[in-house]
Structure 1
Amino acid sequence: MSLHRRRHASAAAIAVLITLAVGLNTPANAAGSGLAGAAPSAPQGPTLSAQTWQAVEFTLHSTVSYQDPYRDVDLTATFSGPNGQRLTMPGFWDGGDTWRVRFAPPTPGRWQLTTTSTDATNAGLDNHHGTVLARRYTGDLAIYQHGFLRTSANGRYLTYADGTPFFWLGDNEQSNLTGQTRLNESNDPRFSSQFKGIVDTRVKQGFNVIWNETFANNGGNSNEGGPDWIDGTFHTLNPQFWDNIDQRIGYIAGKGVVDAITMGTGVSLTDATKDQLPEYERLARYMVARYAAYPMVWLTAQEFDQPGNCAECWEQVAQVFADTDPYLHPTSLHNYPIFAGGGVEPRDQSWYGLVTLQEGHNTVDGVADYWLKQYQQTPTRPVVEAEANYEGIDVFWENNAIVQNWQTRESAWKARVGGVAGNDYGAAGVWWTCWNAQDPDGNCQSFGSTPWNEGLFLPGATQMGYLKSFFTSLPWWQLAPAPTAITWADTAPTDTQLAFASTTPDRSRTVVYYPHRLDAGQPYTGTLTDLTPGRYSMKWFDPRTGRYTAAGSFNITHAHATAQLPPEPSATDDWTLLVSRGA
């Protein structure tokens, strides 16, 4: 079932921006500052230095006072670069008379900025100019070495901008842009900041995507910058709330991690409230303006297709994310569980970059009837298993069952051999941050009271790192589910515990995942089919420890041959078998 999210406040504090901020009205450019009384001719703004794919920021000051600057005027900036490249970025209001434009140059060279606004009389916003001199990124973070994410040409996985395959391993931290996760405080002496401690630990564990939510569409949310809206949802935007989020997203980006972000839960936009759709569309544009210059994926809304929600409205909001974003970050919508009435997928829409699936919790699905069906749907889209068996949570709607480590691990491995392009992990006390066991937040008490600094080190997180190391040692992007690659003995399970394989097109690599036997039956036995000539070696990989052990070898001398697979070392545990053909 889905998890019901709630938003909570924290102590107010003034947020500071961590990205580079350079004003267009610097003293050196005072003649073209755009301040009241300045000449209205096109100001020649500052020249900024940048590295490719790293955000820089221009600051402008409005010469016109607006009753509601968030809604009354729009700012747009066009960046013209080498070889005729043009990127158009929206700007955003950041309080008072301050407006900002953020930009991450995708290629080295000179980029020229020109601004326009919907109020041509505003000399502070309209017809400003600036320059970004970009050099190639010199650091060691892959997202800036290779560029922001794209969908692969074959629609099966995500790549960096230069085409390098991107292995998605995400962590669900849905409250970590809110005051529920404390930016400037920690109750664990190992970390000075709860927020940074969670992010730093996940990076060390191998995660490269973090799922965040602003909850700015749901109302009643705040962080150290104050509430998201003043005087009610969608009434008066509070820029300091977003300034605080800037610090958090900037920190995540500084670690080289991709931010997969939603506005919040989908239940706020229903058939009964769809007259507010323009507010959601404007908020989407605002989020693009603030964060498109960072490594992002637009998840848009959580559980957008829950029965009763206006799913088609959310599709229009997602369209705004995609159409407004010049970097073409992948855009998606997070599904409600299929078994509970979700599963809407606008695959035929050009903006729909990936499926963000939800298996649910305390459920163990089979490969053939779940992930494989997703893989086989058309048009082809990458599938990410975004919400499956958060480790250690209390599934209160199923007699308070606690999701076990093996369930979390098994969902991840089954999804991978079933053809998904990525996995998201979730842990009690971290998917929704719980300060301590007595945290009064509804999610902490309903789904278990595991403190964040205990949930952060549940064994499943380390085991997700083992999964990543296993697959990234292979040409994983070439692996495809192979339901006919193995003929299993009659004693093998055919239900949720079906063993399953994925192979490369040339059959030089075969990965077989053996779930543990829930029925206490005999070990799996099967025959690998349709092999090509060569010498093959076999290795067992233990998903619990990350260790390999030899499992034998065999020679194939003719085409379409078969070979007997060894039974797994123990039927009470899950195992992965790697079969490799040598040179």
Structure 2
Amino acid sequence: MDKTTAIIVILCCAGHVLSAAPPSVHRQWRVSEFTFTAADNHEGQPQHVVFGATFTGPDGRVYDVPGFWDGGRTWRLRFTPPTPGVWRYQTEAVERASVRVVTAYDSGTVRGGERPVQVEVPTEGAAEIRLVVSDADDGASYDHADWANAALVGEDGRKTYLDELKPLSASQGHGKLGLRTNVPGQPLRIGDKTFERGLGTHAHSRIAYALPPGCRRFTAEVGVDAVVKEHGTVRFQVCLIYPRDDRVGRRDPGLHGKTGHFTAQPAAGPNPLHTHGGLLRVSKDGHHLTYADGTPFFWLGDTWWFCPSDLMPLEGSTHPSIPSAYQALIEKRGHQRFTVIHMAFLGEIGGVSPFTSGKRGADWDPAYWQRVDRYMDIANDNGLIPVIGMGWTGNPLKAEDWRLLWRHVVARYGAHATTWLVCGEYNVKDAQDRVPRTLALGQYIKDMDPHHRAMSIHPWYHKGDKRQAWEQPWYDFIMFQGGHGAVPPAALYLDAYGREPAKPVLEAECRYEGIHEHRAPEVREAAYEAIQSGSFGYTYGSHGLWYPTQDEKDTRFDNWGTPTPWWEALERPGATHMGHLRAIYESVQWWQLAPAPDAVTVTTERDGMASVETLYSLVDHFPEAAAVNEHWCRLHEENTGKSMLKSIFLHPKVGEPAVLTYPKYDLPRPKANERITLVLALGMNRKANLKDPKNPSDGVTFSVRINGRTQLKEHVHSHGWLYRAVDLSKEAENPMFLELAVEAGPNMNWDHALFRHPIVVRRPTNTPEPLRNVYASKPPRRVVTKADGDNAFVVYFPREERIHGRRLNGLRTGAVYTAAWHDPRTGKRLAANTVRTENNGCLLPLPPDNQDWVLILRRGESVDSR
């Protein structure tokens, strides 16, 4: 960032500040930084000093700006002047605490299967001990941890075991604290050693005990519990709380009462964050966001949940020819015209994460945050706004610790072009104790932010989202997680768009490219459907970037899709198509468009659809079937947005096929010129783990046997649906004996196979393909439209949409429109043609070929060259 830094020169005598030089030149919408030197040394307890300043602008408006400690005796203020002119400030610093917190022991990373580690910590003079276990910030599960033989040792050498004391407080990420057992209730075991005494817990964990008089030391043996074998990586810390002199209300003379003034020059520069201001606002109509100066802001985001971290380093990378992974990512997305990056701070920098460095008494590390500064600066330099969420699914910090962490984040990055996401999936599984605390934290962040920028919170997937945040006063725009399966129904966005009072609607996590083998066409479909139905933008994601897969051997999160190194995930075509999406919408006044779900009517049905008659559904007769070998077998419901499809869900074991039998399958005889057909869609559940989708030995084999004869056998080793039909017209034996079978490949794990709503239909002998059309009386994907009154229309035609007759309604009779097709794969615009409306609307021209297309109509015969 072109950051202007005003360094106040401190002249010190006996540790006291005597004077300071005035700051230098500043500019509207740029970060201005002011540095101060404390008279007292607050290192180790900076949270006990409340430091900030009031900034008064040329119009008399006052901003309360929090400050932050930056190591040693250095404290800083950062502020973005929202208007040019003369600004004045005055600082305030008040001490509020009477304890000192010291991290007395840190194990570093401890892995499953390792031998127990001996811990001995002197405790003389301390009043409280806190035992902390983090997950080493690798995002992995299995983090069962043991404080074996944990004891307090007195002056006489006698031990008091903690498993017989009541803790002051205890919290952990999974289960309940085990006393003399691990969390599952089994004996404590680290490596090959079993313990009779101690505590069993699970990261993230904090257990606090009062220290009795005369306590001299704490001893324990620590390690990952053997219940997880070689899995699990944790970090053990012992923090001691010491009493100190009562200094509440004391004002540090080096920080308190400092005044100054500066002149902010008008905004300038090609970067839109510098020209328009990156402190986002809600538009006046409540349907989109704007830059700080009111210019419409098109939200096009990418997802990097493990950023900032050493997984996306500033210097170096796991690719030998890329000197900076983070710089490469930022420059690529900036070139593709992205505007937002989602960050959740999952992962460490130099062994430190915000969930240790931001916690009271545990590794407050300014060097960590100074590295994060560079991440924010580089993003802003490239026109990208970091959307900051801290952690995932309610990291179990206490409320006071969360406020401390977020005060530091807002103080440090509130002057940057950023906004706040609070945390990821705040309401997953609707945890009653966590959600209210998280919502209160959202209000704290809003109140702490001097600019009160537009903010939101990342929810669970839309079917599980209870929408607890929607009525919160700090919740400025509605955020959805559409999930990574079927495209969410348009009604999801339309209903939210139509709420009163209006709030902007955003699809923030849907169909990441590469997850469950989703390709660019599926990504485009989800993005256009969301925006056409009311979303003011879209957040893209790529499997291999949301978690940056380090190399070909990194198999973390392979249950979501084939592992792809980050440099390959960066080049997926869907991201380029998202840039074209933004350009297509910005070719019109996109912020004036509103969803028009009834604007396009279907005038001709698909060929062959009207004569298909469903005779029999195997799903409806599922209770009559019998599962052979007692394999897991159940019904699975899928809401496609148009209808509810039910699948028969089988879970085979390697070497043992899962078989479902229908012993009395009685069907009517076919009439002349028709056939009775069993129609099947074969596929694997998205959770099926394909080690190598290109290896035929992976996957599952589907079979259909009738009266003991195999009529269909298909091997599926990729995600997606395979449509097949079995002709039953010539079966002489009726009722027939029907068997559906699934066999797992030798390399499979989590073998979830589905017969998607298998049905028997009566069809004419000349009924055309595709068989997928049998499943719906309407097209499986509908045309979605946005309109600016009757002045402009944007129509999205999904891929594989057989266009027969499409009529656009709501046009003025006799008006002339120019119609131009835009290719969402390339961004290219085909030659425009002129259409004239009739009394009943306008018959739309057909798209050039069978792919997805965007049609833009504008009133008048001329159209620009874009």
Matched, 1:50 2:26: yes
Contact 1:391 1:408 in 2 (8 A): yes
Residue aligning to 2:519 = 404
Give the match's secondary structure for 1:110: strand
Richer in helix (by share): 1
Q: CA–CA distance in 1 between the matches of 2:38 and 2:24?
A: 21
Contact 1:209 1:260 in 2 (8 A): yes
Give the match's secondary structure for 1:117: strand
Give the match's secondary structure for 1:423: strand
Q: CA RMSD in A?
A: 2.4
User: What letter matches 2:311 in structure 1?
Assistant: Q
1:209-241 deviation line (CA, Å, top 9, x unaligned): 1111224xxxxx421474445599554222211
Displacement of 1:365 = 2.3
Q: 1:461 to 1:308 in 2, by over 3 A?
A: same
Displacement of 1:176 = 2.2
Matched, 1:69 2:45: yes
Residue aligning to 1:436 = 551
Selected match of 1:370 from 485, 489, 492: 492
Q: CA–CA distance in 2 between the matches of 1:81 and 1:494?
A: 60
Contact 1:516 1:575 in 2 (8 A): yes
Q: CA–CA distance in 2 between the matches of 1:258 and 1:131?
A: 28
1:223-281 deviation line (CA, Å, top 9, x unaligned): 14744455995542222111111111111111221111101112325xxx7xx112112
Residue aligning to 1:391 = 513
User: What letter matches 2:815 in structure 1?
Assistant: G
Please show how residues 462-501 of structure 1 align to structure 2 within 5 Å: 462-489=576-603, 491=605, 494=778, 497-501=781-785
Displacement of 1:44 = 4.9
Higher relative contact order (CA 8 A, sep 6+): 1
Displacement of 1:547 = 1.8
Q: TM-score, normalised by structure 1?
A: 0.86
Q: CA–CA distance in 2 between the matches of 1:421 and 1:267?
A: 27
Q: CA–CA distance in 1 between the matches of 2:255 and 2:780?
A: 59
Number of equivalenced pairs? 532
Q: 1:540 to 1:35 in 2, by over 3 A?
A: farther
Matched, 1:84 2:60: yes
Q: CA–CA distance in 2 between the matches of 1:331 and 1:71?
A: 25
Contact 1:430 1:455 in 2 (8 A): yes
Q: 1:21 to 1:447 in 2, by over 3 A?
A: farther
Matched, 1:579 2:857: yes
Please show how residues 549-568 of structure 1 align to structure 2 within 5 Å: 549-550=830-831, 552-556=833-837, 561-568=840-847
Displacement of 1:495 = 6.8
Q: 1:231 to 1:429 in 2, by over 3 A?
A: closer
Give the match's secondary structure for 2:492: helix
Displacement of 1:56 = 1.6
Displacement of 1:461 = 0.7
Residue aligning to 1:242 = 369
Give the match's secondary structure for 1:579: strand
1:270-303 deviation line (CA, Å, top 9, x unaligned): xxx7xx1121122111110000101111111111
Q: CA–CA distance in 2 between the matches of 1:502 and 1:137?
A: 34
Residue aligning to 1:3 = none
**Bigger shift: 429-438 or 450-459?**
429-438
Q: CA–CA distance in 1 between the matches of 2:321 and 2:858?
A: 43
Q: CA–CA distance in 1 between the matches of 2:75 and 2:92?
A: 12
Residue aligning to 1:24 = 8
Q: 1:239 to 1:452 in 2, by over 3 A?
A: same
Displacement of 1:336 = 0.6
Displacement of 1:203 = 0.2
Richer in strand (by share): 2
Q: 1:230 to 1:415 in 2, by over 3 A?
A: closer
Displacement of 1:446 = 5.4
Matched, 1:102 2:65: no
**Bigger shift: 349-358 or 145-154?**
349-358
Contact 2:288 2:505 in 1 (8 A): yes
Residue aligning to 1:396 = none
Give the match's secondary structure for 1:82: coil
Contact 2:819 2:834 in 1 (8 A): yes
Q: 1:130 to 1:64 in 2, by over 3 A?
A: same
Displacement of 1:160 = 1.2
User: What letter matches 2:788 in structure 1?
Assistant: T
Contact 2:43 2:71 in 1 (8 A): no
Give the match's secondary structure for 2:530: helix
Residue aligning to 1:299 = 421
1:110-150 deviation line (CA, Å, top 9, x unaligned): 11121001234310111112222210122111121112210
Q: CA–CA distance in 1 between the matches of 2:837 and 2:356?
A: 71
Displacement of 1:407 = 1.2
Matched, 1:514 2:797: yes
Q: 1:213 to 1:229 in 2, by over 3 A?
A: closer
Residue aligning to 1:222 = 348
Q: CA–CA distance in 2 between the matches of 1:109 and 1:544?
A: 46
Q: 1:185 to 1:18 in 2, by over 3 A?
A: farther
Displacement of 1:555 = 2.3
Give the match's secondary structure for 2:387: strand
Q: CA–CA distance in 1 between the matches of 2:549 and 2:831?
A: 43
Please show how residues 425-464 of structure 1 align to structure 2 within 5 Å: 425-439=540-554, 442-443=556-557, 447-464=561-578
Matched, 1:315 2:439: yes
Residue aligning to 2:823 = 542
Q: Which has the larger radius of gyration?
A: 2
1:447-478 deviation line (CA, Å, top 9, x unaligned): 43211111111110110011011000100000
Contact 1:18 1:247 in 2 (8 A): no
Matched, 1:256 2:383: yes
Contact 1:54 1:104 in 2 (8 A): yes
1:414-461 deviation line (CA, Å, top 9, x unaligned): 111111011011112212212211135x33675432111111111101
Contact 1:34 1:63 in 2 (8 A): no
Contact 1:229 1:238 in 2 (8 A): no
User: What letter matches 1:500 in structure 2?
Assistant: V
